[in-house]
């Protein structure tokens, strides 16, 4: 993913600079791979910044009154004064993971948000 982002940034920079279309069409991922180390390093730096920002861009889950996330997949169960997070497999319809009991619903939601961010990033290949 890093290579693809860096190559695309390199290509877009050429377009934004007003270079002829023929030059921009030659800025392919393959041409980027063969580019100079200093050029590649410059664009890798920008790609790394984008990749590092992506997990923070995943919004927090929204919950209904019953403790289920509106996007599905997460459910918080309360027993006595403790809370347990269940993570469901959307495809199988089964609970695939449960997490330790927490003392507050906020802690359980925080665990769900961390898990959700990790799942989104994994799906994106990050």
Q: Sort residue 58 into left (φ over 0), alpha (ψ -120 to 50) or beta.
A: beta
Question: Rounded CA gap, 43 and 55, in Å?
Answer: 20
Each residue of 2-11: pLDDT tens digit?
A: 999 999 999 9
Is 83:104 a contact under the CB 8 Å cutoff?
yes
Question: Rounded CA gap, 12 and 54, in Å?
Answer: 20
Each residue of 84-125: pLDDT tens digit?
A: 888 876 544 555 667 778 888 899 899 889 888 888 888 887
Each residue of 33-89: pLDDT tens digit?
A: 999 999 999 999 999 999 999 888 899 999 998 888 887 788 888 888 888 888 876
Residue 95's pLDDT is: 52
Residue 119's pLDDT is: 83
């Amino acid at each position: 993913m890093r290579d693809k982002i860096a190559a695309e940034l390199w290509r877009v920079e050429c377009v934004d600079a007003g270079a002829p279309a023929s030059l921009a069409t030659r800025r392919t991922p393959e041409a980027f791979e063969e580019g100079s180390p200093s050029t590649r390093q410059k664009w890798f730096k920008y790609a790394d910044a984008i990749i590092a920002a992506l997990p923070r861009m995943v919004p927090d889950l929204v919950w209904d009154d019953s403790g289920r996330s509106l996007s599905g997949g997460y459910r918080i169960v309360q027993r006595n004064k403790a809370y347990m997070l269940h993570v469901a497999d959307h495809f199988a319809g089964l609970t695939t993971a449960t997490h330790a009991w927490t003392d507050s619903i906020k802690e359980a939601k925080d665990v769900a948000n961390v898990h959700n961010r990790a799942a989104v990033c994994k799906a994106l290949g990050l």
